[in-house]
Amino acid sequence: MTLFEKIIAREIPAKIVYETSDVLAFRDINPQAPAHILVIPKKVIPRLGDAADADAIILGKVLLAAAEVARREGIDQTGYRLAINHGKDAGESVPHLHVHLLGGRSMAWPPG
């Protein structure tokens, strides 16, 4: 089980901010912005490149959940960034697809 599967199963505590039957969102333990929330599908998809056509609906639900969490966090009007890391060189540390929702501060471009 990945760390995120353990959070979904409530075996590891997390500061959950949003949940549906398909999606879970919780605060990152090492925040890179005042609002830094991870939005994950409850279905295990290791990374975006492993998603299949059958995962299109859940991928859409993850993005819609991120937008809803941004509204709830009050950062939808000032702006926020969504990031999906794929692979070691991109900084992926948990092999479970997750979207980083970052906001609450000005961000530079290009990132990182």
Task: Pick the catalytic residue from 36, 96, 98, 100.
Answer: 98
Q: Which of 19, 37, 40 is nearest to 102 (CA)?
A: 37
Degrees (nearest 5) of the Cα angle 36, 39, 41?
Answer: 165
For 48-94, the DSSP string reads GGG--GGGHHHHHHHHHHHHHHHHHHT-TTT-EEEE---SGGGT--S
Q: Reply yes or no on whether 98 is catalytic.
A: yes
CB 29 within 8 A of CB 94: no
Catalytic residue positions? 98
